[in-house]
Amino acid sequence: MPHQDPSLTLNPAPAPALPSHRAEAPIGVFDSGIGGLSVLRALRQALPGEDFIYLADSGFAPYGERSDAFVRERSERITRELVAQGAKAVVVACNTATAAAIAALRRQWPELPLVGLEPALKPAVQASLSGQVAVLATRGTLQSPKFAQLLAQCQAPGRHIHCQPCDGLADAIEQGDEARVADLCQQYLGALDLAAHSGNAAIDTVVLGCTHYPLVLAEIQKGLKPGVAVLDTGAPVARQTRRLLEAAGLLRHAPESPGRVTWQTTGQPSQLSAAVQRWWPGGQGLHDRGPTLVSPGASR
């Protein structure tokens, strides 16, 4: 799909006032596309009684090779849309969007529980026995000031962190191009293997720094040596979301039935539907809604 100018479908507007929060209100989750499904799986496991709105910005994906200004604008517009739909909290299920936009989102919505992502580098360096850790991520994440700060915090004598940009991999996953996914995984993991051989120890821990990557974990593991640990951010994000909801008195207690997911996209609903059937446990539930096409910022 050709890249679009966000101004073609969205009109800037002030941040709307937050609705009166109720514990029964849904949690908003967004990503540049389908990658956030890996985070939503963890959220649903930790918070089975909560309702969710999942908004895939597939009409403007991928974010990883976009400018910070573009990603920040998209993130602001999507958060505005989720708040307008009554979301009691918003999870930015995208490392690139978190790096580019989370500070701006918190300034605009200071009362809204907002959860962002960062690559699981801190637990990775603590778990590594060899001191050799690899990070697979988009170029946008690896080049962000937020990641640079995280990287500096994790450096130590005897420790080496290999950062591998994976251009095109998120897009290949988004498009369901299995052959391209396999080729890119082989290419990028091969580059890591060469980097590791330049030192005296082998990489023993790999961080998946993009929410799309856990969806193709089996393909990634084909390029790793046995025993290499692979970390992502789904479970920690779910725990933090639960903590924020509890602190704000917004946790949904003793629901009568399992929560449902409302599926929305700025791209092709059929693409999101196919991704849900493939990567969502059990496919789309009987009580779920969508997928539907939305244009955040435009009149509804």
Active-site residue numbers? 94, 210
Kindly state the tokens that stand for 201.
């120890």
Rounded to whole angstroms, the Cα distance separating 54 from 261 reads 7
Burial class (CB in 10 A: 0-12, 13-18, 19+), 11: exposed
Rounded to whole angstroms, the Cα distance separating 27 from 112 reads 11
For 114, residues 6+ apart whose C-beta sits below 8 A from its C-beta are 79, 89, 90, 91, 92, 102, 105, 106
Which run of H or of E encompasses 134? strand 132-137
Amino acid making up residue 112: L
- Tell which residue, 246, 238, 236, 258, has the closest CA to residue 46: 238
Instruction: Let me know the angle formed at the C-alpha of 93 by 88 and 95, rounded to the nearest 5 degrees.
Output: 135
Instruction: Let me know the angle formed at the C-alpha of 176 by 269 and 189, rounded to the nearest 5 degrees.
Output: 140
Rounded to whole angstroms, the Cα distance separating 210 from 215 reads 10
Q: CA end-to-end span of the chain, whole Å? A: 24
Segment 192-196 long-range contacts (CB within 8 Å, at least 24 positions apart)? 192/134, 192/136, 192/162, 192/164, 193/223, 195/134, 195/162, 195/164, 196/132, 196/134, 196/162
Which run of H or of E encompasses 236? helix 234-247
Contact 268, 58 (CB under 8 A): yes
